[in-house]
Amino acid sequence: MQDFDLRDLDAFVAVARTRNFRRAALESRVSVSSLSQRLRDMEERLGVRLMNRTTRSVALTEAGELLLARVAPAMVNVADAITEVRGLRAEPSGRLRINAPPPAVDLVLAPMIAPFLGRYPQVDLDVVAESAFVDIVAQGFDAGVRYGEHLAQDMVAVPLGAPQRYAVVASRDYVAKHGRPMHPKDLLTHACIRSRFSNGVMFDWEFEKNGRLVKVSPPAKLTATYLGLALRAVHDGVGYWATFEGYVRYGIKSGALVSVLDDWCPPFDGPFLYYPSRRQPPPALAAFVAFVADWRKQARRKTKSS
pLDDT by residue (tens digit) across 125-151? 999 998 888 888 878 889 999 887 666
Q: Which residue has the higher pLDDT, 148 or 123?
A: 123
The answer to whether position 135 is within a domain reads yes
State the pLDDT at residue 83: 63
> For the ranges 65-74, 84-93, 131-140, 230-239, which has the lowest average pLDDT?
84-93
174-181: average pLDDT: 97
Which of the listed ranges 49-58, 83-92, 204-213 does the model predict with the highest average pLDDT? Answer: 204-213
- pLDDT, residue 113, reads 96
pLDDT at 176: 97
DSSP string, 63-89: HHHHHHHHHHHHHHHHHHHHHHHHTTS
Q: Cα separation of 282 and 120, whole Å?
A: 14
Q: Are residues 21 and 77 in the same domain?
A: yes
Whether the per-residue pLDDT at 89 is higher than 60: the answer is: no
Q: Are residues 245 and 282 in the same domain?
A: no
Is residue 25 scored above 60 in pLDDT? yes
**Average per-residue pLDDT in the chain?**
86
Higher pLDDT, 232 or 69: 232
Q: Are residues 274 and 130 in the same domain?
A: yes
**Is the per-residue pLDDT at 154 higher than 70?**
yes
- pLDDT surpasses 70 at 265: yes
Domains of the chain: total: 3
Local confidence band at 259 (pLDDT 50, 70, 90 cut-offs): very high
Residues 102 and 225 in one domain: no
Q: Quick one: pLDDT at residue 128?
A: 92
pLDDT for 39: 83
Q: Domain of 19: which CATH number?
A: 1.10.10.10
Query: What's residue 40's pLDDT?
Result: 86
CATH of the domain at 248: 3.40.190.290
201 and 73 within one domain: no
Is 24 part of any domain?
yes
User: What's the pLDDT tens digit per position in 160-173?
Assistant: 988 999 999 999 99
Angle at 27 between CA 25 and CA 13, to 5 degrees: 75
171, 255: one domain:
yes
| Statement to judge: residues 253 and 191 lie in one domain | yes
**Is 197 domain-assigned?**
yes
Least confident of 7-16, 73-82, 195-204: 73-82
Give the separation between CA 285 and CA 92, rounded to whole angstroms: 9
Q: Rg of the chain's alpha carbons, rounded to an integer?
A: 24
Is 1 part of a structural domain of the chain?
no
pLDDT band at 71 (very low <50, low <70, confident <90, very high): confident
Q: Are residues 289 and 158 in contact, defined by beta-carbon separation less than 8 angstroms? A: yes
296 to each of 73, 144, 221, 299, how far by Cα in Å? 36, 18, 39, 5
3-state secondary structure labels for all residues of 15-39: HHHHCCHHHHHHHHCCCHHHHHHHH
Of 86, 108, 123, which marks where a domain is finished? 86
Task: Single out the residue in 31, 58, 86 at which a domain terminates.
Answer: 86
Question: Quick one: what percent of the chain has pLDDT higher than 90?
Answer: 48
Q: Is residue 114 a part of any domain in this protein?
A: yes
The yes-or-no verdict on residue 86 having pLDDT over 70 is no
Residue 106: band (very low, low, confident or very high) from pLDDT cuts 50, 70, 90: very high
pLDDT at 186 over 70: yes
Which pairs count as long-range contacts for 34-41, CB under 8 Å and 24+ apart, including other chains? 35/11, 38/7, 38/8, 38/11, 39/11, 39/12, 39/15, 41/8
Same domain, 32 and 176: no
Domain extent, residue 294, equals 94-162+270-305
Whether 2 has a pLDDT exceeding 60, the answer reads: no
> What is the predicted pLDDT for the residue at 179?
96
Residue 50 lies in a domain: yes
